[in-house]
Amino acid sequence: MSMPLSQGYLQTPDGHQLYYAEFGNVRAPAAVVLHGGPGSSSNLAMLEWFDLNRWRVVLFDQRGSGKSLPTGSLEHNTTAHLVDDIERLRQHLAISAWTVVGGSWGAYLALAYAARHAKHIRHLVLRGTFLPSRLQLDWFFQQLQALVPQAWDSLTETMSNSEKESVLQTLADRLLGSDREKISDAAERWSSYESKIMVSMMQGKVTQQAPKGQQAAKKQVQDQSATDQTAVGTAVSRLTVAKTNPIGLRRRSALSINIVSRHTICATWGLSTCLRYWRNCARCR
Say which amino acid occupies 231.
Answer: A
195-234 pLDDT, tens per residue?
A: 898 888 777 766 543 444 445 545 555 555 555 544 554 4
268-282 pLDDT, tens per residue?
A: 333 333 333 233 333
pLDDT of residue 200: 84
Is the CB of residue 247 less than 8 Å from the CB of residue 255? Answer: yes
CATH topology of domain 6-132+227-260: Rossmann fold (3.40.50)
Query: What's the rounded Cα separation, in Å, for the pair 84 and 192?
Result: 30
Which residues are CB-neighbours of 234 under 8 A, at least 6 positions away? none
Tally Cβ neighbours within 10 Å of residue 203.
11
Is the CB of residue 266 less than 8 Å from the CB of residue 259? Answer: no
Q: From residue 269, how far is each of 46, 52, 132, 136, 238 by CA, in Å? A: 10, 18, 21, 21, 27
pLDDT of residue 159: 98
Domain borders along the chain are 6-132+227-260, 134-224
The structure's pTM equals: 0.71
pLDDT of residue 101: 97
